[in-house]
Amino acid sequence: MSKVFVLGGTGFLGYYTTKELLARGYQVKTMALPPVPADNLLPSEVELSLGNINELSDSAIEALLADCEGFVYAAGADERVVPDAPALSFFYEANVLPTQRIARLAARAGVKKFVVFGSYFAEFSERWADSMPRLKNEPYPNTRLLQEQVAFAEGEGKMTVSSLRLPYIFGTMPGRMPLWKMFVDQIRDQPVFPALPGGTAMVTVEQVAEAAVGALENGVHRGTYAIDALNMTYKDFYEMIVEALGQVGKTQIPVVTYEQVQAQYEAMDAAVAAQGKEHGIHIATTGQIQARELYLDPQDTMPVLGIRAHDVKAAIRESLEKAVRG
């Protein structure tokens, strides 16, 4: 495999994946939505085109991919988007249909390895199928599972397709604000910010890039890889935000049960619905999730994909410091 196409190479995950591919000796071609977030973001050897690949004809996409053996799908909508109801339709059209089409055309163009950037909500919707069946039917996890399945099906017998199920990701890049700014803004100047008792898996963006290249090189067809490097409680994460804001001693992070906030969260869902909108994961469901531990075992994927050890807490601090500066 000599050349890899990265869809979304100027985005956060695509940028680091492109850098990792170049460091390993691959040629990289990418297409991304304009504008480029910073001058000279990618080195000159990267074949960069700006535009929306979904607006190209089938023949144009096949021609674009004709010299590529690998493909990394680092595009789509995540659960932060709050679309018009029904959210299922939005995420289906944003994530499932484009992935199916691109995977089909990639296989037709001769691509041999295809990696989808997905979500660890797909992982937990399967793990918790009995204890929390509602999660699998939430619009965002439901369509992330569908996204994987259509890509797998399009590759069947022609192309190895695997999926990375990504947790919380930390790091910075030129020209883009970390998504964690929304957490920083929520906690800024607050005397109290409650945390639910659960926690989450976390990785650095460099580890996502390493996992992507590892999946291209070693991933198996229909393989799903829920990557992780550090498990942390929400309380500890919020405490790091408090520290980054310089609010230690001024902001308290009490741990509360889901039952204590359930009515408030259900009211928030009702208010969103009254506006004709719907979350990809309803706020009440998010509360139930955050009362549990979305923890993974790093050793399940690090050796298989060649993910290296990184200082995740240092990456969290770097992300939060940039978010605080605004």
Q: Tell me, what amino acid is at 35?
A: P
The answer to whether the beta carbons of residues 242 and 187 sit under 8 Å apart is yes
d(CA 215, CA 217): 5
Is the CA virtual torsion 205, 194, 323, 318 positive or negative? negative
Report yes or no on whether pTM surpasses 0.95.
Answer: yes
Residue carrying the six token digits 């932060």: 80
d(CA 230, CA 233): 10
Backbone angles phi, psi at 70, to 5 degrees: -125, 155
- Residue 101: the pLDDT is 98
Nearest CA to 172 out of 315, 32, 39, 269 is that of: 315
d(CA 239, CA 259): 22
Instruction: Check residue 126 and give left, alpha or beta (phi > 0: left; psi -120 to 50: alpha).
Output: alpha
pLDDT tens by residue, the chain, 326 residues = 799 999 999 999 999 999 999 999 999 999 999 999 999 999 999 999 999 999 999 999 999 999 999 999 999 999 999 999 999 999 999 999 999 999 999 999 999 999 999 999 999 999 999 999 999 999 999 999 999 999 999 999 999 999 999 999 999 999 999 999 999 999 999 999 999 999 999 999 999 999 999 999 999 999 999 999 999 999 999 999 999 999 999 999 999 999 999 999 999 999 999 999 999 999 999 999 999 999 999 999 999 999 999 999 999 999 999 999 98
Q: How far is CA 161 from its chain centroid? A: 17
